[in-house]
């Protein structure tokens, strides 16, 4: 096992963390750990979690207030200069032997840490930024249309507001929703969804608020970091309800997020140019001459321990910076805790699709499972785990951890 | 002028409030008044506002905490038994001469009261519950379709999530949004909206939270009261963006609400049966055998002081109780401060339409204004005021106050 200390440009931690660990010194994601005497801001390092609330009291006393409530809310609101200061302090504590005595006493095993929703979600917006996903759904639902994408798709990042109050932390069970659907025979019936699906996405977390438009170049002055999102979707409820005002109950029962928020500072080595755009976007969305805000994040989707797909975030047509610029160009304000998700991440290959409806092609090509059975949509007690990593400095990988959820049966009337 | 004291079943207040005053003892709406030393919960009575934060400290000391923060948040969360207790106390203070000394000192002129957003908006949902409005828009936008309503419209209350962070108090200027639109020639352009509209609605404010479905009969155990909503809409932005995921930037720049929340307790005399439904809704939406939750609220829309229309809320196809039952039937939780609006209130007559796009029939029949000009959509510096009243006890009218907003020009690039 190689220590991170030997891999060059990255400072070495005095902790025994293997170089290939996705939560090495290159990552330092933030979460909220519930301890018996209250929540703490935690930072993952290797297989341990640093109690940052306590560490700041000892080592960064002028920032004590930022972490006192035990969630990320105040840190998010503090803005990019403070984010950089805190990350530099964490790096110093974990690499300078002089802090070892203080810091080691504030580490707890990650396996014992109960992690809650890391921040208060203000508004939740979900985009639709994968051309492959949008085209796949277009082909399935509008087979007679010569164009799988709607005419607006390449002009603007399509999005809609979701239900902030039902964003839940990874591990929270997801109860199968009940609702109206129309049968293939045209009958309107009520009952548990029979086409329960996932959507593997990245979510971006707004830190510093804004009173109006956030141009592309200001993206990292407002966005703190990223997490994993599983935007659970009841396709049958959604298909019946969505015209003309969009998804509602087909989505609003639950959206799961990973407990660790990876700061943008940890993703600098993962930045890649987005795919070429045609037509060229309007000026407020045009990033041709700007530093790109694409990210080379490799996502993995597993169902009951069986890997279903590897959606590649690098291929997303619209970047998070474009989504933020679009979301605010009308003058809409931005609050600390606003969460916006990418939309389902799907690549061009069948093994790169981020939803079951694509993987089973609307039920016509059921997915083979290792137990010999097949799966189209989710069954009760199915468990979905989405993980991701991105390139870090010195050959490391930056981990996102996981977002996990198990389906519980719908309540009986 | 007749005093409310002479009108029978209503207790008489020792204040000099005319019987026809919409903020008589029958109403007692709650708001948040900003005083130099901080916000207070206020209650409107006649042309004055009672500082309830201070009054409770003196007269209802075990409830002091409910009002200490100066907004309605804690009162909303306290639930129906406390709502009834507080309303009974207010009624007693304002009708019993023994409290006059204490209470009179805590009244301030309404004209001097600066009112802010009365509660923290959790999730904001907008419905689409007027059959006349939905059919008018269907006729305008899908003229070739034999049916103006989508097939799902009479099966479920169609709704979508809006942006909670841009719900603003009455009087907040509304800046004309900029955005993408497609010209009639098919060109995609960017600039200030040229089809800026209003939507006159009622909003319902959730008090007590719920962990899952709220059946029709539990409506008043969770909903605290109602307010006026103007759901500003940029029709050109909306028309280009809305397929397939619904309205987004065409709505998210601003939604204005009236500063006074009228408790459901004040609307008991306004309850009316909703219109007959065909087909009969599914059981969770079927209110045929239930106490009706329709409300006979008379709305008035004025542009620059000129009354444009009188939308009748009594004719709404779906009630707020049905909307709440629908919104939660999939298991979605409900938070204190959730706000759900009715959708544009439009009646069958041209003078009963609650949006400009209906009043000017998509621009083809411009509205005559008293200055000799016409208006289709909003111009800069236009001011819209929406007011409403409902029947109260003893021949009184229960007032909602007003929601007011003036259009400011879009920012110059």
The verdict on B112 and B128 lying in the same domain is no
Give the residue numbers spanning the domain of B78: 4-116
A149 occurs within a structural domain: yes
Strand (E) or helix (H) holding B121: none
Tell me the catalytic residues of A. 133
The verdict on B60 and B91 lying in the same domain is yes
At B7 the pLDDT is 43
SS3 B23: coil
At A291 the pLDDT is 85
Q: Which two tokens stand for residue B387?
A: 């007011």
User: How many domains would you assign to chain B?
Assistant: 2
**d(CA A11, nearest CA chain B) in Å:** 41
- ipTM over the 0.85 cut-off: yes
Q: Which two tokens stand for residue B337?
A: 């401060």
Residues of chain A with pLDDT under 50: 1-8
Q: Which two tokens stand for residue B31?
A: 């708001």
- Residue that finishes a domain, picked among A116, A141, A176: A116
Cβ-contact A201, A229 below 8 angstroms:
yes
- Residue that finishes a domain, picked among A116, A137, A162: A116
**d(CA B237, nearest CA chain A) in Å:** 9
A413 occurs within a structural domain: no
The verdict on A163 and A63 lying in the same domain is no
The verdict on B179 and B278 lying in the same domain is yes
The verdict on A91 and A171 lying in the same domain is no
Percent of chain B with pLDDT over 70: 98
**Distance (Å) of CA A339 to CA A123, A320, A326, B409:** 6, 11, 14, 29
The verdict on B38 and B184 lying in the same domain is no
B334 vs A: CB within 8 A:
yes
CA-closest candidate to residue B29, choices B81, B90, B73: B90
A179 vs B: CB within 8 A:
yes
Which phi and psi angles does A80 have, rounded to 5°? -65, -30
The verdict on B88 and B163 lying in the same domain is no
* Distance of alpha carbon A4 from the chain centroid: 26
A161 vs B: CB within 8 A:
yes
The domain that contains A368 carries what CATH number? 3.90.850.10
**d(CA A225, nearest CA chain B) in Å:** 20
The verdict on B78 and B172 lying in the same domain is no
pLDDT of B208 over the 60 cut:
yes
At A413 the pLDDT is 67
According to DSSP H, which parts of A96-202 are helical? 100-104, 131-141
Residues of A with CB below 8 A from B166's CB? 332-333
For tokens 């007032």, the residue is: B399
Q: Which of B21, B132, B133, B222 is catalytic?
A: B133
Cβ-contact B151, A239 below 8 angstroms:
no
B181 occurs within a structural domain: yes
Report, as an integer, the average pLDDT of B104-112: 97
The verdict on A50 and A197 lying in the same domain is no
A57 occurs within a structural domain: yes
At A2 the pLDDT is 40
pLDDT band of residue B289 (cuts 50, 70, 90) is: confident
pLDDT band of residue B126 (cuts 50, 70, 90) is: very high
Triad B320, B26, B205: Cα angle to 5°:
30
The domain that contains A64 carries what CATH number? 2.30.30.230
Report, as an integer, the average pLDDT of B89-102: 97
The verdict on A309 and A366 lying in the same domain is yes
Question: Rounded to a whole number, what is the distance in angstroms from the first to the last CA of chain B?
Answer: 55
- Residue that finishes a domain, picked among B96, B116, B136: B116
Length of chain B in residues, anyone? 413
Comparing alpha-carbon positions, the chain A residue that sits nearest to B175 is A331
Q: What is chain B's mean pLDDT, rounded?
A: 96
A175 occurs within a structural domain: yes
- Compute the distance between CA of residue A323 and CA of residue B181 in angstroms, rounded to an integer: 17
Which phi and psi angles does B154 have, rounded to 5°? -90, 5
Cα atoms in the 13 Å half-sphere on the side-chain side of B309? 26
Considering CB atoms only, which of A160, A175, A332 is closest to B246?
A160
pLDDT digits (tens, 9 = 90+) for B213-226: 999 999 999 999 99
The verdict on B96 and B240 lying in the same domain is no
Beta-carbon contacts below 8 Å between A and B: 164
* Number of CB atoms found within 10 A of residue B290's CB: 14
Cβ distance of A334 and B165 shorter than 8 Å? yes
Dump the DSSP string for A314-378: GG-SS-HHHHHHHHHTTS--B-TT-EEE------SSGGG--SHHHHTTTTTSPEE-TTS-EESS-
**Distance (Å) of CA A386 to CA A55, A383, A403:** 31, 10, 5
At B412 the pLDDT is 87
Q: Which two tokens stand for residue B164?
A: 């909670």
SS3 A231: coil
Cβ distance of A329 and B284 shorter than 8 Å? no
pLDDT digits (tens, 9 = 90+) for B182-193: 999 999 999 999
Across A7-16, A50-59, B78-87, B320-329, least confident range: A7-16
């Amino acid at each position: 096992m190689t220590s991170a200390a030997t891999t060059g440009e990255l400072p070495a931690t005095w902790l025994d963390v293997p170089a290939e660990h996705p939560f090495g010194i290159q990552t330092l994601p933030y979460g909220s750990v519930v301890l018996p005497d209250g929540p703490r801001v935690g930072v993952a390092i290797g297989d341990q979690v640093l109690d940052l609330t306590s560490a700041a009291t000892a080592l960064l006393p002028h920032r004590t207030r930022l972490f006192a409530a035990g969630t990320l809310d105040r840190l998010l609101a503090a803005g990019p200069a403070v984010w950089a200061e805190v990350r530099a302090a964490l790096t110093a504590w974990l690499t300078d032997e002089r802090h070892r005595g203080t810091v080691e006493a504030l580490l707890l095993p990650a396996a014992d840490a109960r992690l809650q929703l890391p921040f208060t979600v203000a508004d939740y917006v979900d985009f639709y930024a994968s051309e492959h996903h949008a085209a796949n759904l277009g082909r399935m639902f509008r087979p007679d249309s010569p164009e799988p994408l709607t005419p607006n798709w390449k002009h603007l990042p399509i999005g809609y507001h979701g239900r902030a109050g039902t964003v839940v932390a990874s591990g929270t069970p997801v109860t199968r929703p009940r609702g109206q659907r129309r049968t293939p025979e045209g009958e309107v019936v009520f009952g548990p969804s029979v086409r329960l699906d996932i959507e593997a996405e990245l979510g971006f977390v707004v830190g510093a608020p804004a009173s109006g438009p956030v141009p592309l170049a200001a993206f990292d002055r407002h966005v703190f970091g990223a997490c994993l999102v599983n935007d659970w979707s009841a396709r049958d409820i959604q298909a019946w309800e969505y015209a003309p005002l969009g998804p509602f109950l087909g989505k609003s029962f639950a959206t799961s997020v990973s407990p660790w928020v990876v700061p943008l500072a940890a993703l600098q080595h993962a930045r890649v140019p987005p795919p070429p755009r045609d037509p060229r976007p309007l000026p407020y969305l045009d990033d041709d001459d700007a530093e790109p805000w694409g990210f080379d994040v490799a996502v993995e989707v597993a169902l009951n321990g069986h890997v279903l797909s590897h959606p590649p975030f690098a291929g997303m047509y619209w970047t998070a910076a474009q989504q933020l610029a679009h979301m605010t160009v009308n003058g809409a304000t931005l609050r600390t805790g606003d969460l916006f998700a990418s939309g389902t991440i799907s690549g061009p290959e069948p093994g790169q699709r981020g939803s079951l409806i694509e993987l089973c092609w609307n039920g016509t090509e059921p997915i083979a499972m290792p137990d010999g059975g097949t799966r189209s949509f989710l069954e009760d007690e199915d468990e979905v785990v989405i993980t991701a990593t991105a390139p870090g400095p010195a050959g490391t990988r930056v981990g996102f951890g996981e977002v996990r959820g198990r389906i519980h049966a719908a309540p009986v009337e």
